[in-house]
Chain A
Amino acid sequence: MAYSDKVIDHYENPRNVGSLDKSDPNVGTGMVGAPACGDVMKLQIKVNDSGIIEDAKFKTYGCGSAIASSSLVTEWLKGKTLDQAAEIKNSAIAEELALPPVKIHCSVLAEDAIKAAVADLKAKQPMNKETV
């Protein structure tokens, strides 16, 4: 399998690896995938008081493309609002990393992880709870 230079760069120097405190009300956690499928992504975002994502961390069990996809989105997420974050599309990830067709599912998984983290955060925050 030939990986693009960008995938290899993210794989060899992953950005923002780590974990945030799950119980922090300003932290949203998304965990998607399953070990049997060969991919599990954990993505965490932390927002400041004005609702801007100020930190993002990930851990990924998966192939090089899955690691690169999650590493890339942690860079993209910082500085975005939750709504802007939720707009990140898998196609943009796949394009940026030049993923081959058999690896598109990695970008889909990354998009799902963002959505899950955002949903988790929104569920935690009282303001959002009221609007539900």
Chain B
Amino acid sequence: MSLTTPIYLDYSATTPVDPRVAEKMIPYLTKIFGNPASRSHSFGWAAEKAVEEAREEVARLVNADSREIVWTSGATESNNLAIKGAAHFYSGTKGKHIITVATEHKAVIDPVRELEREGFEATFLNPEPNGLIDIEKFKAAIRPDTVLASVMFVNNEIGVIQDIEAIGNICRENNIIFHVDAAQATGKVEIDLEKLPVDLMSFSAHKTYGPKGIGALYVRRKPRIRIEAQMHGGGHERGMRSGTLPTHQIVGMGEAFRIAREEMKQENERILRLRNRLLQGLVSIDEVYVNGDIEKRVPHNLNISFNFVEGESLIMAVKDIAVSSGSACTSASLEPSYVLRALGRSDELAHSSIRFSIGRFTTEEEIDYTVSLMKNKIGKLRELSPLWEMHLDGVDLSKVEWAAH
């Protein structure tokens, strides 16, 4: 056995940097270190050329024009810039209502909450129990003063893929700026911004085998979308985002997105096979529930609740595999996942959920190890669980009157 534990199954939290990406970055850390804004000497020119080539690569993955790509420090900044930047720019002409979804990432929800404090109004749509948005409900939420809608492409916790094209068309018809958080989508689903009616789209490098600390925002040119800058200074990125560009990180993101474009198809097939192997292994355990639609979903993600075992003890039990319970950004807290609760899952099932996310370096051996580990540990925890015992005795737990503690 060549397995080393812990086994990394948390690719949705962050991916390792692909060795090819790291290799491409290193010269820009050591040899070509000019400030791309230094127009007066060749050190700066070499850096600028590399930045523009990377911009081209990012644009190619999503079939956009490189002039539509604005560098940021990551998807959080892209989301903040898109939401606050567009809301502020267009609120005067269109209005102050925003539509988003209860299962968005915090980096979308929190800026929208901030806008609410500034006097905007927001509708947080609840998705269907499978995690997908009902288009009719989206339509019904639209008001004459709706200025902006923000819907994520692929959910970070449950991996479901929203119908961005349909939602985008509705936004177009109603003259609503449409932002899409695609941090979890790049390299996993086809994105064609020439066809998709999307105005603003957020990207991250470190979810697609690039470095942390770099991301991008797509800002459509035709029809031209305007945003108010959130960071002011030297006027970099055509005034939309000031700050010295971190050349090596940008080069890394460009290379990561090039690899994603070239290898996505084969990679997704391989990952789907692994995911299905994991799924088959885990659903052979009694009383497990897959969270989120299993069809309209990226192959990388499997989110499962294990009934009658408690979430924290579950995480303790599976320390040989690195997985998330809920999203990485909130896993420091003991609150059950707000995403799963929005799907209507009980607190208990939300607590006892595990997100397995599979990636480029996952092996079949690792999947098999994981399945046998889960079977073993779930068995042990259930042996300990009074709830499991009651369930086996035929007690309907929902009818039990629990002493409030």
Q: Using an 8 Å CB-CB cutoff, how does the interface string of A9-35 with B read, 1 for contact, 0 for none?
A: 001001001010000000000011111
User: Which among B57-65, B133-141, B358-366, B379-387 touches the partner chain?
Assistant: B379-387
Given A33-B402, A36-B347, also A61-B316 (CB < 8 A): no
CB distance from A106 to the nearest CB of B (A): 11
Pairwise interchain contact A40-B351, C-beta atoms closer than 8 A = no
| B348 and A60 within 8 A (CB) | no
In the complex, A63 Cα to B240 Cα: how many Å? 47
Task: Please judge, given known A-B contacts A34-B404, A34-B405, whether A64 and B312 are in contact too, CB under 8 Å.
Answer: yes
Most B CB contacts (10 A, CB to CB) among A3, A14, A60 go to A60
Partner pick for A35 among B384, B389, B402, CB 8 A cutoff? B402
Using known A-B contacts A42-B386, A59-B384, determine if residue A36 contacts B310 with beta carbons closer than 8 Å: no
CB neighbours (8 Å) of B402 from chain A are 33-36, 40
Binding site of A, secondary structure by majority: helix, strand, loop or mixed?
A: mixed
Contact A39 B385 (CB under 8 A): no
Indicate if the CB atoms of A36 and B346 lie closer than 8 Å: yes
Q: Are B311 and A59 in contact (CB under 8 A)?
A: no
B313 at the interface (CB under 8 A from A): yes
Do A34 and B386 touch across chains, with their CB atoms under 8 A apart? no
What DSSP secondary structure best describes chain B's contact surface? helix
Residue-wise, chain A 87-113 has the 8 Å CB interface mask toward B (1 for contact) of: 000000000000000100100010010
Q: For B347, what are the chain A residues with a Cβ–Cβ distance below 8 Å?
A: 35-36, 38
Instruction: Give the distance to chain A from B34, nearest Cβ to Cβ, in Å.
Output: 45
A14 touches B386 (CB 8 A): no
A39 touching B313 by the CB < 8 A rule?
no
Give the complex CA separation of A35 and B385 in angstroms. 11
**Cβ of A121 under 8 Å from chain B:** no
- Please tell me if the beta carbons of B386 and A41 are within 8 angstroms of each other in the complex: yes
A115-129 residues with Cβ-Cβ distance < 8 A to B are none
Q: Is the CB of B403 within 8 A of A33?
A: yes
Complex: how many Å from CA A3 to CA B312?
12
1/0 contact trace for B307-327 toward A, CB 8 Å? Answer: 011111100100000000000
Residues of A within 8 A of B310 (CB): 38-39, 61-63, 66
Q: Among residues 271 to 315 in chain B, which have CB atoms less than 8 Å away from a CB atom of chain A?
A: 308-313
Contact call B386/A60, Cβ cutoff below 8 A: yes
Contacts of A132 in B (CB 8 A): none
Q: Which residue of A lies closest to B309 (CB)?
A: A61
Contact A38 B403 (CB under 8 A): no
User: Chain A residues with Cβ under 8 A from B313's Cβ?
Assistant: 11, 62-64, 66-67
Tell which of A19, A34, A64 touches B403, judged by Cβ atoms closer than 8 Å: A34
| Minimum Cβ distance to chain B for residue A37 (Å) | 5
B397 within 8 A of A: yes
Cα-based distance from A72 to B351 in the complex (angstroms):
25
CB 8 Å contact bits of B326-346 with A (1 = contact, 0 = none):
000000001000000000001
User: Are A11 and B316 in contact, CB atoms less than 8 angstroms apart?
Assistant: yes
12 further A-B contacts with Cβ under 8 Å, apart from A32-B405, A34-B402, A36-B347, are: A14-B384, A34-B403, A35-B402, A37-B405, A38-B310, A38-B311, A38-B348, A41-B386, A42-B386, A59-B386, A61-B384, A61-B385
- B-side residues, CB < 8 A to A, are 308-313, 316, 334, 346-348, 351, 383-389, 397, 402-405
Query: Which residues from chain A sit less than 8 Å from chain B, CB to CB?
Result: 1, 3, 11, 14, 17, 19, 31-42, 59-64, 66-67, 102, 105, 109, 112
Going nearest first, the 4 A-B pairs with the smallest beta carbon separation are: A34-B402, A63-B312, A42-B386, A59-B386
Q: 6 pairs across A/B with beta carbons < 8 Å?
A: A1-B312, A35-B397, A61-B386, A63-B310, A67-B384, A112-B405
